[in-house]
Amino acid sequence: MAYGGGECVARSFHITIITSNIQLLISNLRHRLTHIPPSYTITPMPDTWTVSALTRYIRTTLETDYRLKELTVEGEISNLSRPASGHLYFTLKDSSAALRCVMWKSQAAQMIYRPRDGDRVEVRGAIGVYEASGQYQLYADSIHASGEGDLFRRFTELKAKLESEGLFDPARKRTLPLQPRRLCLVTSPTAAALRDILNVIRRRSPSLEVILCPTQVQGVDAPAQIIEAIHNANKLNPDVIIVARGGGSIEDLWAFNDEAVARAIAASTTPIISGVGHETDFTLADFAADVRAPTPSAAAEIATPDQSELINDLRDLSNRLIAAIESQIQDRRWALSAHIASLRGLSPRAALANSRQRLDDLNLRATHALQHRLELDRQRIEITTQHLHSLSPLAILDRGYAIVTRADSTEVIRDAGEVKKDETLNVRVSKGKFAVRVEKSLKENHA
Amino acid sequence: MPKKTSSPSEPTFEQAFKELESIIAKLENGELSLDESLALFERGQALAKQCGALLDAAELKVKQLSPDGELEDFNEEQ
């Protein structure tokens, strides 16, 4: 009981040893101070202490004691509180004493284990004094559930064993169905986890058929029941199975670290999603499952398609349906108008118009040909006329010749002996005729 | 109030949804007669409506596997 007793060398103090009897402490300190050599005396002993000075002195004394700097205390947690600041406050107690403890946010946030009132724990830390309330307390660095070290070792060994067997092999993992119709829930019917899961499913996929396969999720009977429930669930031929349990201490979750449970999960014919404990809890069931969800609610989210997505999908399909039929009709409309156009090209009316045009064309060509022909004839006639003209006796008259005929006939006089005296003859010259009377015949010698 | 389980004449949402998808695939492929296309379109519209109604009507029903292997309604309030 006495503070500063030489037997206090154990690493693990019992709380009653550091009881908060300040009176006793002060008398002890007084006693010790009188035995400190002068060179160690920092503050001269005042006749009357101020509260601050005394508290600071006590603080210094406690916080410089090496036995109080790194220690482990075992006890039961009570009055646990975790305000918004994130620091953790609790009292450790045993049957006859209590110790205020605080764990700062920085350490508390890193801690996987979540202490709860009533947990038996081992707390590691240093004793210090909070001057404002004159309270000494344990500043905790870490908290472990009593015996956790042992459980953790078993967990690690079992995990390594199953891993080496290939039980957790990613290649073994099956993909989950996109649209499950039937889902089996392996969990406790009374657990809050069940309510969380059902709420998620109700919100996301209310048309899903959900069958609860009840089982205990903690205690000695839990592993056998979980295995039985998984077996029964598989017989119901669901699309997916959720194995779930809400958060708890490592002991609470221990059924999910059972070797046979892990094997049953790995052997399930239906894909299994595990949702055991909190995000930070990893169990062998999680490793053996096809998908590990951080929480039961998350498992439900992973298992179910969001119905609002389904509604969107349905709307897309409806739009595609309408677009498809419209495009079908449009295609035919195009084809039809193309056919109408080609039909128009094949119509006899077009042929008729064509013939008419050819007729016009021929007509025109015939006219041209005829005109050309006429022109040629005209030219030929002209040439012939000129030729004829050059051959005409009248043309000779132009050169000064004259044609003499008898007055009463067209007989041409070629011989002067044919004419008689006083006979009237017609003389034709180039331009006109005139009558002459024969005076006398002029006989030429050569005639 | 447990409603009747889906009868063969009433397709489940998934069946209707799947058929709707296959109808659209056929229509989009576009190698059908107009009569066939129109018939498929009408069927597709009926399916889409049915799917929508099934989604609207969906209400989560939970059953529980009893120790004797029967499925019974699970009362969440317990």
Q: Are B68 and B61 in contact (CB under 8 A)?
A: no
In a structure prediction context, what are the per-residue pLDDT tens digits for chain A, which is 447 residues long? 444 444 444 444 555 445 455 656 666 666 665 555 544 555 567 788 899 999 999 999 999 998 898 899 999 999 999 998 989 999 999 888 999 999 999 888 877 678 888 888 999 999 999 999 999 999 999 888 876 656 777 888 889 999 999 999 999 899 898 888 899 999 999 888 899 999 999 888 888 899 999 999 988 889 999 999 999 999 999 999 999 999 887 778 889 999 999 999 999 999 999 999 888 778 999 999 999 999 999 999 999 888 777 788 889 999 999 998 888 888 888 988 988 888 877 777 777 888 888 889 999 999 999 999 999 999 999 988 888 877 777 777 887 888 889 888 888 888 888 888 888 899 988 888 899 998 887 765 554
Q: Are A393 and A403 in contact (CB under 8 A)?
A: yes
For chain B, the straight-line distance linking the first and the last C-alpha, in angstroms and rounded, comes to 17
Look at phi and psi of residue A387 and say left if phi exceeds 0, alpha if psi is from -120 to 50, else beta.
alpha
DSSP conformational letter for A412: B
Q: Which residue of B has its CA nearest to A187?
A: B64
Q: Same domain for A301 and A312?
A: no
- For residue A192, give the amino acid letter: A
Q: Same domain for A290 and A269?
A: yes
Task: Please name every residue paired with A126 in a beta bridge, in sequence order, or none if there are none.
Answer: A139
Closest CA to A92 of A139, A60, A132: A139
Q: What is the pLDDT of residue A44?
A: 66
Closest CA to B38 of A339, A332, A317: A332
- State the total domains in chain A: 4
Beta carbons within 10 angstroms of residue A439's beta carbon: 8
CA distance A220 to A200: 30
Partner A contacted by B29 (CB < 8 A): no
Closest CA to A128 of A218, A35, A210, A63: A63
**Selected residues 280-319 of chain A with any CB under 8 Å from a CB in chain B:** 307, 310-311, 313-314, 317-318
Out of B12, B24, B76, the one facing A324 most closely (by C-beta) is B24
Q: Enter the tokens of residue B75.
A: 């009362």
User: Is residue B31 predicted with pLDDT exceeding 90?
Assistant: no
Partner A contacted by B19 (CB < 8 A): no
Task: Please name every residue paired with A404 in a beta bridge, in sequence order, or none if there are none.
Answer: A427
Cβ pairs A/B, distance under 8 A: 95
CA distance A90 to A261: 35
Smallest CA–CA separation between A256 and chain B, in Å?
Answer: 21
Test A317 with B48 for CB contact under 8 angstroms. yes
**Length in residues, chain A:** 447
Test B62 with A213 for CB contact under 8 angstroms. no
Q: Which residue of A has its CA nearest to B24?
A: A321
Q: Same domain for A77 and A199?
A: no
Q: Same domain for A160 and A286?
A: yes
Kindly list the residues from chain B whose CB atom is less than 8 angstroms away from the CB atom of residue A232: 65, 69
DSSP conformational letter for A171: G
A23 Cβ contact list (under 8 Å, min separation 6): none
Domain at A94, CATH number? 2.40.50.140
Residue with tokens 């709307």: A315
Taking the CA of residue A134 as centre, how many other CA atoms within 13 Å lie in the half-sphere pointing to its CB? 11
Phi, psi torsion values for A263, nearest 5 degrees: -65, -40
Q: Which residue of B has its CA nearest to A212?
A: B64
Test B41 with A324 for CB contact under 8 angstroms. yes
Q: Mean of the pLDDT values across residues B7-21?
A: 76
CA of residue A423 relative to chain centroid, distance: 139
Q: Enter the tokens of residue A92.
A: 């450790």
Q: Domain spans of chain B?
A: 13-73
Partner B contacted by A396 (CB < 8 A): no
Q: Residue A73, SS3?
A: strand
3-state secondary structure A363-407: HHHHHHHHHHHHHHHHHHHHHHHHHHHHHCHHHHHCCCCCEEEEC
CA distance A293 to A278: 9
Q: Same domain for A159 and A120?
A: no
Q: Which residue of A has its CA nearest to B43?
A: A321
For chain A, the straight-line distance linking the first and the last C-alpha, in angstroms and rounded, comes to 205
Q: A223-258: b or e for each residue (b if 16 or more CB lie within 10 Å)?
A: bbbbbebbebbbebebbbbbbbbbbbbbebbbbbbb
Kindly list the residues from chain A whose CB atom is less than 8 angstroms away from the CB atom of residue B38: 325
Q: Same domain for A140 and A16?
A: yes
CA distance B74 to B72: 6
Partner B contacted by A191 (CB < 8 A): no
Q: What is the pLDDT of residue A267?
A: 94
Test A207 with B55 for CB contact under 8 angstroms. yes
Q: What is the pLDDT of residue B30?
A: 74
Test A202 with B60 for CB contact under 8 angstroms. yes
CA distance B50 to B15: 11
The residue range of the domain holding A319 is 306-340
End residue of a domain, out of A114, A146, A178: A146
Closest CA to A265 of A247, A246, A245, A291: A291
Q: What is the pLDDT of residue A91?
A: 94
CA distance A440 to A350: 92
CA distance A244 to A277: 8
**Within a domain: A28:** yes
Using CB atoms within 10 A of its CB, is residue A281 exposed (0-12), middle (13-18) or buried (19+)?
A: buried
Partner B contacted by A333 (CB < 8 A): no
Mutate to test the interface with A, among B18, B74, B75 (most CBs of A within 10 A): B74
End residue of a domain, out of A282, A305, A328: A305
CA distances from B62 to A214, B53, B76 (A): 12, 21, 8
Kindly list the residues from chain A whose CB atom is less than 8 angstroms away from the CB atom of residue B23: 321
Q: A385-406: b or e for each residue (b if 16 or more CB lie within 10 Å)?
A: eeeeeeeeeeeeeeeeeebbee
Out of A208, A212, A310, the one facing B65 most closely (by C-beta) is A212
Beta carbons within 10 angstroms of residue A18's beta carbon: 21
- For residue A392, give the amino acid letter: S
Q: Same domain for A179 and A260?
A: yes
Q: What is the pLDDT of residue A4?
A: 43
Domain at A269, CATH number? 3.40.50.2300
CA distance A387 to A114: 142
Smallest CA–CA separation between B69 and chain A, in Å?
Answer: 8
Mutate to test the interface with A, among B49, B62, B64 (most CBs of A within 10 A): B62
Helix (H) or strand (E) holding A183: strand A182-187
Out of B14, B41, B64, the one facing A181 most closely (by C-beta) is B14
Q: What is the pLDDT of residue A42?
A: 56
Q: Same domain for A98 and A163?
A: no
Q: Same domain for A187 and A255?
A: yes
Kindly list the residues from chain B whose CB atom is less than 8 angstroms away from the CB atom of residue A202: 60
DSSP string, A283-326: -HHHHHSSEEESSHHHHHHHHS--HHHHHHHHHHHHHHHHHHHH
Q: Which residue of B has its CA nearest to A188?
A: B64
What is the ipTM metric for this complex?
A: 0.70
A142 Cβ contact list (under 8 Å, min separation 6): A107, A111, A123, A124, A125
User: Is residue B3 predicted with pLDDT exceeding 50?
Assistant: no
Q: What is the pTM of this model?
A: 0.47
The three-point CA angle B46-B51-B54 to 5° equals: 125
Residue with tokens 């670290």: A257
**Within a domain: A6:** no
Smallest CA–CA separation between B19 and chain A, in Å?
Answer: 11
Q: What is the pLDDT of residue A238?
A: 95
Test B60 with A329 for CB contact under 8 angstroms. no
Partner B contacted by A327 (CB < 8 A): yes
Smallest CA–CA separation between B60 and chain A, in Å?
Answer: 4
CA distance B32 to A328: 9
Q: Which residue of B has its CA nearest to A194?
A: B76
Out of A205, A206, A314, the one facing B51 most closely (by C-beta) is A314
